[in-house]
């Protein structure tokens, strides 16, 4: 038998000491939110409960109740000052904040012309400035469907399945900013030094979103580091193939490549879409997802191994965010980073957890 593997230098138990910096009010709120999120009826019927409580309590009282519980726990703030204060608190305990803009299109719901997207564009630009004010190496997450019609994304996805479709990142990049811009380093998004992480959505939109991401990478990731990143969902069956293919495509394109690796957040939507297609007699793949949770865990681990190998090979031109609340995945990443000689802090690999979730992991990392 070989010698046992030494445990990674990650003190999950000792990380709780940093919680002493939290106020009693914040800790009590966290305990209340934990209990509520563990209550099965609320988890399974959150939508109807929110709608009924809003009618019963009225807008003002309902809003105050949410701010005192869920909103206050998971959201960085309502104003510029509140967000900056939250960012300072996180940096004080060694964490780097990332601003997430939650605006997106509710797929299937028609929007009021271009005005809805123009308003979102203004909000996104404002959030770029807000993200830049949170400190060094700022990052921001954005859903493409906040700025681009989900219907158009779906059409792009369908066209990509057609042989000889002619849709390439180079061609789309030229359409975005003129042919002269393709192949040139036009700098980070909006010129504020903010890394932009494009979120993944449902599987019928993702191919089109991936094409948009690749075109943006080709325009903006020509320098020493990637400014535009794409998100990969381990609960999809084809994720490993797409991740490897997109990484190789960026390499051929001469562009840096940024990856945010997640498990996935649209399980019910994917199952509903597949079920609706079958019920209508359409030829819809009923299983774009991994068959079960364990298969998703394996998929995440395989993608993590692939991405860390690329990070070691390509250096700063490859960026990776290990976005997970799963302890086993974090420990796997830390062990593999030690083996590959990848630094845990300040390198091209970082870890991501939602505000108010898995603080013991965030603080240990």
Is residue 115 situated within a structural domain? yes
Q: How confident is the model at residue 214 (pLDDT cuts 50, 70, 90)?
A: very high
| pLDDT at residue 277 is higher than 60 | no
| Residue located via tokens 């681009």 | 148
What pLDDT is attached to residue 59? Answer: 92
Mean local confidence (pLDDT), 171-181 = 64
Is residue 76 situated within a structural domain? no
Q: How many CB atoms lie within 10 A of CB 164?
A: 5
**Range of lowest pLDDT (51-65, 222-236, 277-291):** 277-291
CATH number for position 223? 3.20.20.220
For the chain, give the percent of residues with pLDDT over 70.
84
Overall domain count for the chain = 1
| pLDDT at residue 28 is higher than 60 | yes
Is residue 4 situated within a structural domain? no
Is residue 19 situated within a structural domain? no
Against a cut of 0.75, is the pTM above it? yes
Is residue 18 situated within a structural domain? no
Task: Identify the domain containing residue 277 by its residue range.
Answer: 98-364
φ, ψ of residue 186 to 5 degrees: the values are -95, 10
Is residue 118 situated within a structural domain? yes
Where is mean pLDDT largest: 18-32, 102-116, 162-176, 309-323? 309-323
User: What span, in angstroms and rounded, lies between the C-alpha atoms of 209 and 199?
Assistant: 9
Mean local confidence (pLDDT), 5-28 = 68
Find out whether 99 and 160 touch, Cβ atoms under 8 Å. no
Residue count of the chain, please give it: 365
pLDDT digits (tens, 9 = 90+) for 189-205: 566 789 999 999 999 99
Is residue 75 situated within a structural domain? no
Is residue 54 situated within a structural domain? no
| Residue located via tokens 């400014």 | 227
User: Quick one: which of 307, 329, 356 has its CA closest to 97?
Assistant: 356
What pLDDT is attached to residue 331? Answer: 94
């Amino acid at each position: 038998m070989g010698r046992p593997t030494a445990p990674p230098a990650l003190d999950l138990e000792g990380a709780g000491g940093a919680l002493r910096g939290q106020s009693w009010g914040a800790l009590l709120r966290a305990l209340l939110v934990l209990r509520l999120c563990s209550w099965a009826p609320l988890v399974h019927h959150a939508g109807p409960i929110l709608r009924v409580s809003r009618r019963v309590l009225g807008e003002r009282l309902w809003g105050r109740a949410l701010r005192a519980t869920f909103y206050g726990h998971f959201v960085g703030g309502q104003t510029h000052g509140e967000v900056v204060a939250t960012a300072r608190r996180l940096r004080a305990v060694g964490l780097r904040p990332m601003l997430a803009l939650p605006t997106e299109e509710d797929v299937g719901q028609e929007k009021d012309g271009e005005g809805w997207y123009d308003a979102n564009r203004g909000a996104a630009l404002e959030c770029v400035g807000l993200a830049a004010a949170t400190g060094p190496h700022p990052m921001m997450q954005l859903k493409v469907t906040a700025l681009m019609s989900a219907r158009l994304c779906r059409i792009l996805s369908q066209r990509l399945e057609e042989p000889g479709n002619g849709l390439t990142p180079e061609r789309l990049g030229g359409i975005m900013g003129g042919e002269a811009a393709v192949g040139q380093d036009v700098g980070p998004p909006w010129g504020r030094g903010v890394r932009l992480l494009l979120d993944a959505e449902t599987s019928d939109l993702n191919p089109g979103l991936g094409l948009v991401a690749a075109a943006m990478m080709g325009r903006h990731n020509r320098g020493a580091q990637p400014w535009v990143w794409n998100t990969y969902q381990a609960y999809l069956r084809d994720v490993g193939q797409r991740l490897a293919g997109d990484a190789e495509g960026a390499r051929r394109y001469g562009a840096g490549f940024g990856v945010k690796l997640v498990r996935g957040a649209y399980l019910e939507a994917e199952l509903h879409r597949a079920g609706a297609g079958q019920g209508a007699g359409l030829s819809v793949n009923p299983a774009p997802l991994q068959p079960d949770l364990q298969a998703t865990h394996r998929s995440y681990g395989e993608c993590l191994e692939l991405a860390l190998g690329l990070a070691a090979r390509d250096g700063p031109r490859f960026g990776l965010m290990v976005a997970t609340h799963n302890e086993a995945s974090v420990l796997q990443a830390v062990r593999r980073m030690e083996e590959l000689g990848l630094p845990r802090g300040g390198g091209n690999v970082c870890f991501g957890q939602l505000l108010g979730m898995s603080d013991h992991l965030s603080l240990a990392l």
